[in-house]
Amino acid sequence: MGAFREFKNHIVPAVIRPLRVVWNQSIAFLFFSMAFLAGVMVYREYQQRTELDALLALVLGGFFVLLMAGYGVHSLLRARKASRS
């Protein structure tokens, strides 16, 4: 039982920490990719619509882009925090 306790206390945290960092960085990449693609789509839609329609599409699309970018930044900050602990 002592060997298992040593393994659990020393090896597992050394493996879990880098996995958490990579996971958070991967999620951040996913959110930044979604924000970029949504930004391109919002820009294209904005060019094709009329004035009032374009403003509504720009506001709603811009909110989505900012939300996804915010989640991406949050994930990167969590990855940084996990790597320092």
Residue 67 pLDDT level (bands cut at 50, 70, 90): very high
Q: How is residue 85 annotated by DSSP? A: -
- What percentage of the chain has pLDDT greater than the value 90? 54
Cα-Cα end-to-end distance for the chain: 28
If you write DSSP's letter for every residue of 35-73 in order, what string do you get? HHHHHHHHHHHHHHS-HHHHHHHHHHHHHHHHHHHHHHH
The answer on pLDDT for 23 being more than 90 is yes
- Amino acid at the residue 19: L
Q: What is the pTM of this model?
A: 0.81
Provide the 3-class DSSP secondary structure of residue 1. coil
Q: Residues 75, 31: contact at Cβ < 8 Å?
A: yes
